[in-house]
Amino acid sequence: MTEAAEQVKEQVVDLTGANAILDKYVDMHGALMPALQEIQEFYGYIPEPTVHLTAERLNVYSSQIYGVLTFYAQFHLQPRGKYIIRVCMGTACHVKGAARIADTVKDRLGVVHAETTEDLKFTAEYVACIGACGMAPVIMVNDATYGSLTVQKVDEVIEKYQAMG
Amino acid sequence: MAEQAEKIKVLICQGTGGLASGAAAVADAFEAEFAKQGVEAKVGKRCEVVGTGCRGLCANDVLVDIVMPGAEGVTYDFVTPELVPQIVAEHVIANSPVEKSVAGPYYASFLEKQQRIIFSRCGTINAESLDDFIAHRGFTGIRKAVTMAPSEVIEEVKRSGLRGRGGGGFPTGVKWSFCKATPGEEKYLICNADEGDPGAFMDRSVLEGDPYGLIEGMMIGAYAIGCKFAYVYVRAEYPLAIKRLQMAIDTCYEKGYLGKNCMGLGFDLDMRIKAGAGAFVCGEETALMASIEGHRGMSRPRPPFPAVKGLWGKPTNINNVETFANVSYIFYNGADWYSSIGTEGTKGTKIFALTGKVKHTGLVEVPAGTTMKQVIYDVCGGILNNRKFKAVQAGGPSGGCLPTEALGAEVDYDSLIKAGAMMGSGGLVVMDETTCMVDIARFFLNFTRAESCGKCIPCRIGLKIMLEILERITQGRGREGDLELLEDMAYDIKKSSLCGLGQTAPNPVLSTLRYFRNEYETHIRDKECPSHSCRHLLHFRVVEEKCKKCGVCPKVCPVNAIRWEKGQAAYIDADKCTECTSCYDACRFMAIE
């Protein structure tokens, strides 16, 4: 774990937001996943105290919640960067050189899959497919998709976000 | 309608592909130019920018259609905001299209061989507008369906010959009849829009381009089965698709198309989106239902089938997006019309996502029975950079790789299985001579191994061992006997796995072994990769006789390892080279090996 991440973890998490979210899901069929998704959207990740809170309020075991959290690629137990770089590793991207794109991101930011830069600015993620195969190789930075990439273009994209602060 | 026809329409692709290529900026530029050049005053007609779904030719985005009243639309490709003032001045005002920017003849040939039924609304209507949908026959299918008894609706679907488009190809009408026959008040309908296959994106395009079409298909299904609650399970990597579909569902509730007494037709239907959380195994129906219930997405043995005991233990019917989209059209035009398209065993059209080393990547809708060769060469323009075709991977991680000899295979459930691949969800990834087939097998196995839910041992441990063998081979540490071991394991895993993921995961290995065995052997015996793609076996150099001195390779090299001067053959500095293959991929003359 990076130092910055450790610091954040030690902070006391304000549970008001999580409580408000959970209010909506108490007594609802199949509430666990949508509740966790919403909590993650609110905090940017799933802080540990919210897991225990969710267990208590939705009446499920913490172990079951961790089972779900670690099963799905979408959930994150660590704080994440401001900009999430999703590198698509789908078949089309693979054939057109996704490994090279991932290497470039690693070279420029020093992070590989599921790692966050120390300044909490960038998180790299290698994902199975983002469904923009027509423009392979592709990356997504938050909600923006960048297609038909070359090593140079990846550099440009990263520089753009670095400049954005 | 008369008023509609009088407008000048600018249709801009606003799917994920279009937006990634800058469609939003182009749309803004059009709006700004209309105001700046005072178009409405000059032409005397209203101009409207319409955000449409995907038109299929994603490689040439941003695509813009200008439709002048009373004339055929003109398509521009690679449109940038800088081009917009010229198009507005010359085409919209002076009515003479900007010839040099109009999409070339390949656009016509791209469309010519296709039969766009499911996609007939994608790319022509505003995806977010209910009025546009209704103007294009929207909701007439469900109106027709409710005039029939539910059992007649199922009969009609059976007669049409529609088979599930999710991959397996089970007859849809038969599936519906199972669920209908199970007694019980509470039943569920689920649309599987998880689309976990790497290399497939047709469901996403339907969700983005024609969300109401999907809702209509689901309404017909719900009416036939007699259920009041429907879920759409969409993968979370599709933010735009989720947004559009949610918007469409909200609108339908507002206007009374969904909810109590839908459209006043006397049946109730609630619909909700359930965002997936990134697990390929959730495409498997039992795992998908576990995921909706809030558990880990683990599959369970069948029977009991979902039609008997599904979501929350109630009878449940699951179909794929494309299947529901087909249902709407069956009710617009009738089962006879539908079954007249396609082959004996596969009716209707199939959408393919064509990607990889092919000239025009994108989405293609062809009648079943078209050959692979026609799809790749006639529709999509052949192989990129004039290289040689090597294989096409059909059906994603569950499918297989077909070589040149199998290009005559018709796209149809049965002939693809005979050739050693499968229809799957319809992803076709084209590979040229620079793609290593051993590496592709390794790639898919790496994927399925990571996505295995881990419940059953053959899949959890078997795939891992197979992957280790393949990794060894691609790193030049292959051993005699590896291939036989791989084959043995593959058949055992297929036989003994719990769900479809494990039962099909060894397919890519088996099909590459069947057609490209010599490549495996070269890796093992000579420690060489014939396609120059396995990194551990690479050393790059320029073949001087072949080098055309064009100077492309030094431009793409990220570490400046290539020395080149005008009129001189290039030279690769082995010390600097990181073996990233940039130059190899970029060279049009195969002068780098």
Q: Which residues of B77-114 are buried (b: 16+ CB within 10 A; e: fewer)?
A: bebebebbeebbeebbeeeebbeebebeebbeebbebb
A45-102 residue pLDDT tens = 999 999 999 999 999 999 999 999 999 988 999 888 999 999 998 888 888 889 889 9
Res A11 pLDDT > 80: no
Q: Would you call A23 an interface residue with chain B, using a CB distance cutoff of 8 Å?
A: no
Mean per-residue pLDDT, B349-363: 89
Query: What pLDDT, on the 0 to 100 scale, is given for residue A2?
Result: 54
Number of continuous H segments (helices) and E segments (strands) in chain A? 8, 4
Using an 8 Å CB-CB cutoff, list chain B residues near A67.
Answer: 295-296
Which of A126-130, B442-446, B527-531 shows the highest mean pLDDT?
Answer: B442-446
Q: Quote the crossing angle between the two packed helices B507-515 and B437-451, to the nearest 10°.
A: 170
Using an 8 Å CB-CB cutoff, list chain A residues near B201.
Answer: 129, 131-134
- The pairing of beta strand B188-193 with beta strand B316-320: parallel
Q: Which helix (H) or strand (E) holds A143?
A: none
Q: How far apart are CA B315 and CA B319, in angstroms?
A: 14
DSSP label of B397: G
Q: How far apart are CA B507 and CA B401, in angstroms?
A: 9
Nearest neighbour of A30 by CB, restricted to B196, B292, B431: B292
Q: Would you call B429 an interface residue with chain A, using a CB distance cutoff of 8 Å?
A: yes
- Which of B107, B111, B89, B106 is CA-nearest to residue B98? B89
Query: What pLDDT, on the 0 to 100 scale, is given for residue A5?
Result: 55
Please report which confidence band the pLDDT of residue A7 belongs to, taking 50, 70 and 90 as the band edges: low
Please report which confidence band the pLDDT of residue B5 belongs to, taking 50, 70 and 90 as the band edges: low
Mean per-residue pLDDT, B260-272: 92
Q: How far apart are CA B153 and CA B146, in angstroms?
A: 8
Mean per-residue pLDDT, B534-552: 81
ipTM: 0.84
Residue B349 phi, psi (nearest 5): -105, 165
Res A34 pLDDT > 70: yes
Please report which confidence band the pLDDT of residue B163 belongs to, taking 50, 70 and 90 as the band edges: very high
Tokens of A154: 């990846």
Using an 8 Å CB-CB cutoff, list chain A residues near B195.
Answer: 131
Contact at CB, A133 and B199, closer than 8 angstroms = yes
Q: Which residues are paired to B162 by β-bridges?
A: none
Res B578 pLDDT > 80: no
The widest CA-to-CA distance across chain A, in whole angstroms, is: 52
Q: Would you call A89 an interface residue with chain B, using a CB distance cutoff of 8 Å?
A: yes
Query: What pLDDT, on the 0 to 100 scale, is given for residue B2?
Result: 40
Q: Would you call A129 an interface residue with chain B, using a CB distance cutoff of 8 Å?
A: yes
Contact at CB, B558 and A146, closer than 8 angstroms = no
Percentage of residues of chain B with pLDDT beyond 70 = 99
Question: Cα angle vertex B73, ends B67, B76, to 5°?
Answer: 100
Dihedral-angle region of residue B172 (phi above 0 means left; psi in -120 to 50 means alpha; beta otherwise):
alpha
Question: Cα angle vertex B501, ends B215, B246, to 5°?
Answer: 20
Mean per-residue pLDDT, B146-150: 95
Stretch 156-175 of chain B: residues touching chain A, C-beta under 8 Å: none
Q: How far is B321 from chain A, CA to nearest CA, in Å? A: 15
- Measured on CA atoms in the order A43, A46, A47, A50, is the torsion positive or negative? positive
Neighbouring C-alpha atoms within 13 Å toward the C-beta of A65: 26
B7-41 residue pLDDT tens = 888 999 888 888 888 888 999 999 998 888 888 88
Mean per-residue pLDDT, B493-508: 92
Dihedral-angle region of residue B317 (phi above 0 means left; psi in -120 to 50 means alpha; beta otherwise):
beta
Q: Would you call B426 an interface residue with chain A, using a CB distance cutoff of 8 Å?
A: no
Q: Which residues of A92-117 are buried (b: 16+ CB within 10 A; e: fewer)?
A: bbbbbbbbbbbbbbeebbebeeebbb
Q: How far is B438 from chain A, CA to nearest CA, in Å? A: 12
Percentage of residues of chain A with pLDDT beyond 90 = 53
Mean per-residue pLDDT, B184-207: 89
| Residue showing tokens 């692979």 | B372
Mean pLDDT is lowest, of B155-164, B493-502, B583-592, for B583-592
Query: What pLDDT, on the 0 to 100 scale, is given for residue A10?
Result: 57
Query: What pLDDT, on the 0 to 100 scale, is given for residue B282?
Result: 84
Spatial contact of B425 and B200, defined as CB atoms under 8 Å apart: yes
Spatial contact of A52 and A58, defined as CB atoms under 8 Å apart: no
Q: How far apart are CA B555 and CA B218, in angstroms?
A: 52
Dihedral-angle region of residue B533 (phi above 0 means left; psi in -120 to 50 means alpha; beta otherwise):
alpha
End-to-end CA distance of chain A: 23
Residue B100 phi, psi (nearest 5): -70, -15
Using an 8 Å CB-CB cutoff, list chain A residues near B556.
Answer: 150-152
Res B384 pLDDT > 80: yes
Q: Which residues contact A59 (CB under 8 A, 6 or more apart)?
A: none
Res B3 pLDDT > 50: no
Spatial contact of B109 and B229, defined as CB atoms under 8 Å apart: no
- What residue in A sits closest to B16 (Cα-Cα)? A132
pTM given for the model: 0.88
Report the C-alpha dihedral over residues A85, A90, A92, A93, rounded to 10 degrees: 30
Please report which confidence band the pLDDT of residue B533 belongs to, taking 50, 70 and 90 as the band edges: confident
Q: What is the mean pLDDT of chain B?
A: 89
How many residue contacts between A and B have a Cβ separation below 8 Å? 160
Res B331 pLDDT > 70: yes
Please report which confidence band the pLDDT of residue B1 belongs to, taking 50, 70 and 90 as the band edges: very low
The widest CA-to-CA distance across chain B, in whole angstroms, is: 80
Res B468 pLDDT > 90: yes
Q: Which residues of B365-398 are buried (b: 16+ CB within 10 A; e: fewer)?
A: bbbbbbbbebbbbbbbbbbbeebebbbbbbbbbb
Query: What pLDDT, on the 0 to 100 scale, is given for residue B544?
Result: 82
Stretch 178-197 of chain B: residues touching chain A, C-beta under 8 Å: 195-197
Query: What pLDDT, on the 0 to 100 scale, is given for residue B113?
Result: 85
Which of B1-10, B275-284, B458-467 shows the highest mean pLDDT?
Answer: B458-467
Mean per-residue pLDDT, B90-119: 87
